[in-house]
Structure 1
Amino acid sequence: MSVKRAYNFNAGPSALPLPVLQLAQQELTDFKGTGMSVMELSHRSKEFENVLNHAKETLTELLSIPDTHEILFLQGGASLQFSMIPMNFLGKDQVGAFVLTGAWSEKALKEAKKVGETTVVASTKEENYRSIPTLDRAALPSNTAYLHITSNNTIFGTQWAEYPKFENIDLIADMSSDILCRPIDVSKFSLIYAGAQKNLGPSGVTVVIIKKDLLKRIPANLPTMLDYNTHIKSNSLYNTPPTFGIYMLSLVLDWIKEQGGVTVVAENNKKKAELIYSSIDKSNGFYTPHATNDSRSLMNVTFTLPNEELTAAFLAQSKEQGFVGLAGHRSVGGCRASIYNAVPLEACQALAAFMDEFASVHA
């Protein structure tokens, strides 16, 4: 039986792969012969521990995570990481260095300021974050504790094309909205964190990939739940984790593997993005992109129309045709198409065709 699905371009929580939802539906009341849902299993049970370990193993395989790093499944979203990171790694005589590329990097900076000394080493705030800034090694203080970046900016539609590389500087990245969208060299990062609700699964789980060498810097007497060592020692099972979210994340990772892995997913993401950017670029200015060409995101395509009346008409007509989540954030206005891994190519083809037709009628 065919399933009617919306063209889901929500920024997050966002689209999940249909096969993942269907498998979860099949297993909902009886997970692998247990007679229980995953939501009912004890997090101390062998059955759930197998789910968690499978998720770790699959993520390790997909991202080629070296054994120098640990994987954690935590709660509190990426927003809790804004506080945990400086509490664990921003020493008394050190400075946390931040690159500002949007709202989420601003929030990370705000929380770090409550813990210790910080500095902004690059920013494009003055241009309303239309691009990723260039970064000079000389801007980093000699006592830099770590360099923090946000790899993709959902609101503004920008993404780092290449990550900064500085010897003896710990690079920390919030990858909540683009993890697994393309291959990365995990060894170049001291810590990666990502809320699940864009590319990894449903909301409620946060993945942290952390270099083991960092752990020796964690100060004593931190609150137990805010100490990364607590969760590493207990394999993310110190307290009851979001068991169903981890299970769904595991299924999403299996789905990515079945597609051919991150390289194949990246090729598909590029095709999806090119479709929509092409409709923008050939519209003769009817659609105006927010991001500069060299900073365009593969995950979030942001654009404006000539006026508010046309924007309202665009959103109303797109909704009638089954498109969901295309309204832009108030910081930018206009429209935004979030095309995360699980958004199918067909949805992007349909959106590009709609954009072309709308522009031909109203330009």
Structure 2
Amino acid sequence: MIFVTGGAGFIGSNFVLDWLAQNDEPVVNFDKLTYAGNMNNLATINQDPRHIFVQGDIGDTEHVAALLAEHKPRAIVHFAAESHVDRSIHGPAAFIETNVNGTFGLLEAVRAHWTALPAAEQAAFRFLHVSTDEVYGTLGANDAPFTETTQYAPNSPYSASKAASDHLVRSYHHTYGLPTLTTNCSNNYGPYHFPEKLIPLIITNARAGKPLPIYGDGQQVRDWLYVSDHCAAIRRVLEAGQPGEVYNVGGWNEKANLDVVHVLCDILDKLDPKAAGSYRDQITYVTDRPGHDRRYAIDARKIERELGWKPAETFETGIRKTVQWYLDHQDWVSDVQSGDYLKWVAKNYQERQTTAGVAK
């Protein structure tokens, strides 16, 4: 039995689905079901007895402790987090509450559970904390990619809250001996991605005939990682990672945001063409967000060298699969675009000043 937090979110739900497709070990899926937690992501396993879903808050130590006592998991995989930089700018308090205080409460419950285990079970137990490359700050155009020893330099409330949670996890290993593992991943994309993030936002806006908003000059560079590759990396780290270690997980796919949008438009032009013109005609530049990091890049050689993992998808294969998934799952897209989500889009994008008209 493993215990997954945030398993109804984007990466968490993909992990749970892939986990149950790979083996028969049951999963306790613990999720608060905030705006980004979506039970529709898990519709295909709703009746699967190996999937035990429990709604709850990771900061509720008593609830977590009761579940750990009941189910006796051999491992915790901790995805639960507020994860959108733009939302952290507008409302940082929720990020501190969930990512810092919530992780602390979870660690306390897990430490108490782990301490009471027999010695052999203590040694086999793992707490895997899923984090982000954004804790490392930003890179210049010619800087070497982030490694596991790169100094932390978070630049947004979101990345600062994740950095704090990373430090808490590290401290519980070094102070209490809790067998922790931390992964810092690059930008994920793929099925079930909530459409406030760049790739699903562009796909959904394009098909709806809406503007495709590009922050600033669109030259912010990210390393893109297909979500199933990330899930495979997490499984491998859980299986063979060394307690106390950090593993960077990246796709070796550095792309400027504008280039990603161009690729999406070109794929949509082929798979779902407009009556006239190209989806590129909808590109619009808007005011950049405050403190926008210029470049992220992950050096993923450690996890390949020590654990034998490397991504299976190229950006070209993964992005085409992603676009096709959204075209094939319009009901999911319609359901997730609730009134609250539309209010958020209005706040973050429609109120931004258009800076350079429409890009051709």
More contact order relative to length (CA 8 Å, sep ≥ 6)? 1
TM-score w.r.t. structure 1 length? 0.29
TM-score w.r.t. structure 2 length? 0.29
Max radius of gyration: which structure?
Answer: 1
